[in-house]
């Protein structure tokens, strides 16, 4: 009976997941929420792990399992800020440091060798305590967001989170730490897909938000989404048309070439010969 109920639940989840997917993925990926309620309004229970894994696409399952493992950890275990490798804090630090001050919280990840502070879960801040570091980091973010001479003071790399200041040049930036290409104006990573445009395209879903209707984000998303949907609809038609033309060309080549050669030979045979004296 339990197996039948589980199968029925999975079928219901599969049918509802098209509308439920955005909400579920938003909870799982953005805030790490793993206790997801059943999308069926009459049901007040939470979905079990197997049902969620069954419903998620393959590339999102690992993220869900990571958040699930994180939720089961106690306060003595935290993930590395860089590679997400779990480290359990013990009395003795991962790096041999004096027991005095906050140096006991200095951790070196055994997986990626990144050095970080277990107490505040931030990159290691030598010489200052966690409170001072957080305050300085807040001041840095505030300074970076300020506009001077018509542009931001600095922009954060979308991948490694390092602040980069532009002194001259265009909006296309390349991070010196991780070689990520991103836009200085909006801070988004450069992406492109043939037929769908890139970050410099006004009507592309990958386009910079400041290039097209920056003051009307809802209209911008509607227009770009409509253009993208139109291209998604047209692309299969163009593919089918191309395949049809290719098939016609192959058929013409198979049947037309022998006929052409035969006609050419026949023409040579019927060509009048010259009179020799």
Residues serving a catalytic function are 170
Residues 6 or more apart in contact with residue 89 via CB below 8 angstroms: 76, 77, 78, 105, 107, 118
The residues, any chain, with a CB within 8 Å of residue 54's CB and separated by 6 or more, are 10, 13, 14
Handedness of CA 50, 56, 59, 60 (dihedral sign): negative
d(CA 122, CA 126): 12
| Exposed e or buried b per residue across 103-137, where buried means at least 16 C-beta atoms within 10 angstroms of its C-beta | ebbbbbbeeeeeebbbebeeebbeeeeeeebeeee
CA within 13 Å, CB half, 138: 6
The dihedral through the CA atoms of 7, 8, 14, 17 has a sign that is negative
Alpha carbons 172 and 184: distance in angstroms, whole number = 6
What is Dmax (Cα atoms) for the chain?
121
């Amino acid at each position: 009976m339990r197996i039948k109920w589980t199968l029925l639940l999975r079928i219901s989840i599969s049918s509802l997941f098209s509308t439920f997917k955005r909400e579920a993925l938003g909870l799982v990926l953005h805030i790490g929420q793993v206790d997801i309620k059943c999308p069926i309004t009459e049901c007040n229970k939470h979905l079990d792990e197997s049902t969620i894994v069954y419903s998620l696409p393959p590339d999102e399952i690992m993220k869900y399992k990571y958040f699930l493992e994180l939720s089961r950890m106690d306060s003595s275990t935290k993930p590395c800020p860089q590679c997400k490798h779990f480290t359990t804090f013990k009395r003795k630090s991962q790096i041999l440091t004096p027991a005095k001050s906050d140096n006991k919280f200095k951790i070196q990840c055994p997986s990626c060798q990144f050095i970080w502070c277990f107490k505040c879960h931030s990159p290691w801040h030598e010489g200052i305590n966690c409170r001072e570091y957080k305050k300085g980091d807040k001041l840095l973010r505030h300074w970076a967001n300020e506009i001077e001479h018509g542009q931001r003071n600095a922009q954060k790399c979308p991948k490694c989170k390092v602040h980069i200041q532009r002194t001259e040049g265009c909006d296309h930036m390349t991070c010196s730490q991780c070689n990520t290409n991103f836009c200085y104006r909006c801070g988004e990573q450069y992406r492109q897909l043939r037929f769908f445009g890139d970050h410099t395209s006004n009507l592309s879903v990958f386009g910079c938000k400041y290039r097209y209707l920056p003051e009307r984000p809802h209209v911008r998303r509607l227009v770009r989404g409509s253009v993208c949907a139109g291209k998604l609809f047209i692309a299969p038609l163009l593919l089918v048309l191309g395949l049809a033309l290719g098939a016609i060309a192959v058929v013409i080549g198979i049947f037309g070439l022998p006929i052409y050669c035969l006609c050419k030979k026949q023409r040579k045979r019927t060509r009048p010969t010259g009179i020799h004296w």
